[in-house]
Structures are given as structure tokens and as C-alpha cells.
């Protein structure tokens, strides 16, 4: 079992994460519009895309049904959050990352929905009452329709709307918040929306670059606003970090790894400079560079066909030590309906963090993705990332998976042996 003789730092965040659109249900935003436009197509192409996955026989019916790709009621977390927080509390976790849905708070430009605001006030207070540290994300991929109609983050001048939203939230709800993730994975928004066409967007490298840069600019601006309001805030952004390794010893493969690390990670960290209190590390992939080609991982894969090498998080964390910025693992997890590999994923993640801490890397927390099975964006409802299984056939009933119990046992031990 992980962490047998290790003293974890006091205050280390042990938790889990969600994003509003993936769990709440009944959101009307740029994503809900896109889902309706693309659901038929996604259902039609599912066989071609996924039939090679070992899980296919189990998911074929769901994945070929357009309903799978419409978030709809999601897992009704908006109404059932108390029940979900009971589970987090019961697992003994001390942190929870979630996002506030901008489209609920400002459904029309400049019109603030006080009922939605009060909902989130009660939501955060409920976490606090249970001794769970809220980790608030301000942008997890969904925006109000009026904002996307103005061009969303494609246009630099629109950042001001996001700043206004962020300031509103912090002024109204900030007294109960310490950790803030400004923007979630700008790299995914740009790449999947404007190159791969798996998120709202269109094929355009220019727009991809604009969105990417504007989201980081948005981070910087919100960082400034937050720190002006209150120095106590710990403000960061989250980004995907793949472990890049060379497939062979050739000069080209090794140079590609070097370039990958520099261009995908280090450049942006330098651009952010001092405007961040932490970096949210989101780890799912190992990318092998074979000359010019990029080959994903190995033969052991998750339900989604992503490689299963959680242990490589250690190298990502150790490599990031150069920037001397505190790191929080704001996401890492596995799509695993049968809960066959999740325990191993969690254990290897924790060992990785432990090794990084022992090597002097400043890691402040680990938030498993995700608390609940949820709406996995372009993949719809079939991938199951949850510590908690959600039964879509029987009233969205929650069932805690055995791997979650394992995680709880490790956390209990870690908290008991925490040192200053």
C-alpha cells in the first residue's frame, strides 16, 4: 500500500474533482448547443472510432445512441450535491475541486442570476461545514451562449467579460474560498476545438492560437484581480502535462522530446511568470516520440484506449521542479467502468507524488478525476471516471467503487501521519 512510512506534509490537499457541465445537468451554454448539433454524427461514427476498444461490446448500444452525447440531466449534481458531499466526507477527503457555471450566473449579458449565486453560496458553505477545502474553477470549458456568439475567447477584447464574471464571483463568494483555478486546460480548448473538432470551434490554426493565448491572458488578468481583492487567494491555472519520452535513442526522437517539453510546457510557464501561485497539473498521457511520429503509450490501455502509465506522473512532477512554482495535481484519473485498474492508478499516483516530494518538489495536493461518473464531453456518457459509479438506468443512483475505499484508507493513514 502506498505511503506506509511516509510523513505527508500537513495541509496537503487530498481530494477529488468535477466540472459543472459534466455533472450538474440542465445547463444551457455553448456546449449544450454544440451537443445537439453533433450528437447524431457522434453516434453514427462511434463504431468506426471505438469498436477496437476492448470495452466496445459493453458500450456499443449506448455509444451508438445520440442521447449518449447530450449532457441533459447529467448526473443531477446540481440538486443532489449534498448527497455527493456526504460521500466525499465519508471517504475522509479534505478537498474538492468544482466549477461555477458562468451561464447560470450570467445567463444574459450583464444580468446576474441571484438564485444561482445563492445556490453556489450554499454549495461552498456545505463543503466548509464538512471540513472540505473548496477548490474553485472559474472556467471549465463552458461559457454563456451570448459570450460565444460574441466570439468567445477567440477575441482578446472579450476577456473583459470573463474578468467581470470572475470579479463578481470573488466579491460575492470569495470569503469562503482560498484556492482558485482560473482556466482549465487552454491547450485542450484550442487543440480539440480548433484542430481536432471535438469541442465547440472550427478548423483554424489562427483561431486555435488566439484562443490559447487569450485564455492564458485571461488567467493573468484574473490573477491580478483576485490578488488585489485579497492576498490570501492561491490562484493558479491548470494545464495538461503529458510525460514525453523518446521511443529510441536516436537524435531525432530525443530532440523531439526536448522540443515537446519546451514548447508545450516551459514556454507558457515562462509567459505566466510570476502571475501564478500554483500550477494545476493534469496528467493522463505518456507520449512517445519516435522520430517525427508521436505514439501514445503502450498496450495497456484504459476503457478509452488511453495508455495506462500513472507512474510516469513522477517524472512530470520532477521535471517541473525547475520552475519553483508549487504544484497541485488538479486532475488525474482513469476511465474504468469495471473498476479493474483504478486502485492501481491511484496507488501509483500517490507513490509518484511521494517520490516527487522526497526529491524536494513542492507538491501541495492530489485531486482524483473524478468524483462521479459524468458527461465526458465529446465521448458522451460511456466513459466512467468516477470514484463513485452512477447508475443511469436506475435514477442516477450512486455507488461507491472499491477503489474509492482504497483511496480513503490511504488518505486516512496519510492524515494521521502528517507533519508540518
Residues lying near ligand BGC in the complex (CB under 6 A) are found at: 19, 22, 184-185, 188, 282, 331, 369, 376
Smaller CB distance to ligand BGC: residue 265 or 376? 376
> Which grid coordinates are listed for 51?
469498436
Smaller CB distance to ligand BGC: residue 131 or 338? 338
Smaller CB distance to ligand BGC: residue 14 or 31? 31
CB of 63 to ligand BGC, least distance (A): 16
- State which residue has the least CB distance to ligand BGC: 19
Q: Is residue 152 within 8 Å of 30, Cβ to Cβ? A: yes
Q: Is residue 75 within 8 Å of 374, Cβ to Cβ? A: yes
Smaller CB distance to ligand BGC: residue 301 or 357? 301
At CB < 8 A and 24+ separation, what contacts does 77-80 make? 77/18, 77/23, 77/24, 77/25, 77/372, 78/23, 78/24, 78/25, 78/26, 78/119, 79/25, 80/396
Smaller CB distance to ligand BGC: residue 22 or 158? 22
CB of 9 to ligand BGC, least distance (A): 25
Residue in this structure with the C-alpha cell 461552498, named with its chain if needed: 124
Q: How many CA atoms lie within 13 A of 186 on its CB side?
A: 27
CB of 184 to ligand BGC, least distance (A): 5
CB of 210 to ligand BGC, least distance (A): 20
Give strand pairing partners of 369: 17
| DSSP string of 10-51, one letter each residue | TT-EEEEE--HHHHS----SHHHHHHHHHHHHHHHHHHHHHT
CB of 140 to ligand BGC, least distance (A): 6
CB of 72 to ligand BGC, least distance (A): 17
Smaller CB distance to ligand BGC: residue 152 or 380? 380
CB of 19 to ligand BGC, least distance (A): 5
State the Cα–Cα distance between residues 403 and 139, nearest whole angstrom: 29
State the Cα–Cα distance between residues 141 and 109, nearest whole angstrom: 18
Give strand pairing partners of 391: 397
CB atoms within 10 A of CB 305: 15
State the Cα–Cα distance between residues 379 and 50, nearest whole angstrom: 10
Smaller CB distance to ligand BGC: residue 277 or 331? 331
CB of 301 to ligand BGC, least distance (A): 14
First to last CA, the chain: 23
Smaller CB distance to ligand BGC: residue 101 or 331? 331
Amino acid at each position: 500500500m502506498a505511503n506506509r512510512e511516509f510523513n505527508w506534509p500537513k495541509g496537503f490537499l487530498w481530494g477529488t474533482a468535477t466540472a459543472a457541465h459534466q455533472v450538474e445537468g440542465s445547463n444551457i451554454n455553448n456546449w449544450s448547443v454544440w451537443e445537439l448539433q453533433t450528437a447524431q454524427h457522434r453516434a453514427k461514427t462511434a463504431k468506426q472510432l471505438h469498436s477496437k476498444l476492448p470495452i466496445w461490446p459493453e458500450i456499443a448500444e449506448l455509444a451508438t445512441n445520440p442521447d449518449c452525447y447530450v449532457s441533459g440531466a447529467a448526473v443531477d449534481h446540481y440538486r443532489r450535491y449534498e448527497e455527493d458531499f456526504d460521500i466525499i466526507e465519508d471517504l475522509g477527503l479534505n478537498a474538492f475541486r468544482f466549477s461555477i457555471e458562468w451561464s447560470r450566473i450570467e445567463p444574459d449579458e450583464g444580468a446576474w442570476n441571484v438564485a444561482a449565486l445563492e445556490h453556489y453560496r450554499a454549495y461552498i458553505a456545505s463543503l466548509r461545514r464538512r471540513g472540505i477545502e473548496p477548490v474553485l474553477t472559474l472556467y471549465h470549458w463552458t461559457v454563456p451562449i451570448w459570450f460565444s456568439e460574441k466570439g468567445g475567447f477567440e477575441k482578446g477584447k472579450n476577456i473583459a467579460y470573463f474578468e467581470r464574471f470572475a470579479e463578481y464571483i470573488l466579491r460575492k463568494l470569495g470569503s469562503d474560498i482560498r484556492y482558485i483555478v482560473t482556466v482549465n486546460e487552454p491547450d485542450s480548448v484550442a487543440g480539440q476545438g480548433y484542430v481536432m473538432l471535438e469541442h465547440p470551434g472550427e478548423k483554424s490554426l489562427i483561431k486555435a492560437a488566439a484562443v490559447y493565448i487569450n485564455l492564458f491572458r485571461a488567467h493573468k488578468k484574473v490573477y491580478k484581480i483576485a490578488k488585489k481583492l485579497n492576498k490570501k487567494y492561491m490562484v493558479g491555472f491548470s494545464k495538461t502535462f503529458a510525460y514525453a519520452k523518446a521511443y529510441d535513442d536516436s537524435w531525432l526522437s530525443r530532440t523531439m522530446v526536448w522540443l515537446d517539453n519546451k514548447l508545450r510546457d516551459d514556454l507558457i510557464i515562462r509567459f505566466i511568470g510570476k502571475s501564478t501561485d500554483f500550477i494545476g497539473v493534469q496528467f493522463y498521457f505518456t507520449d512517445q516520440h519516435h522520430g517525427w511520429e508521436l505514439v501514445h503509450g503502450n498496450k495497456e490501455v484504459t476503457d478509452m484506449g488511453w495508455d495506462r502509465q500513472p507512474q510516469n506522473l513522477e517524472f512530470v512532477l520532477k521535471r517541473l521542479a525547475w520552475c519553483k512554482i508549487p504544484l497541485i495535481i488538479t486532475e488525474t484519473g482513469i476511465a474504468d467502468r469495471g473498476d479493474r485498474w483504478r486502485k492501481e492508478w491511484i496507488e501509483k499516483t500517490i507513490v509518484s507524488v511521494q517520490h516527487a516530494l522526497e526529491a524536494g518538489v513542492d507538491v501541495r495536493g492530489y485531486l482524483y478525476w473524478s468524483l462521479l461518473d459524468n458527461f465526458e464531453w465529446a465521448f458522451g456518457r460511456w466513459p466512467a471516471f468516477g470514484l463513485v459509479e452512477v447508475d443511469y438506468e436506475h435514477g442516477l443512483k450512486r455507488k461507491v467503487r472499491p477503489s474509492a475505499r482504497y483511496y480513503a484508507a490511504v488518505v486516512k493513514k496519510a492524515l494521521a501521519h502528517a507533519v508540518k
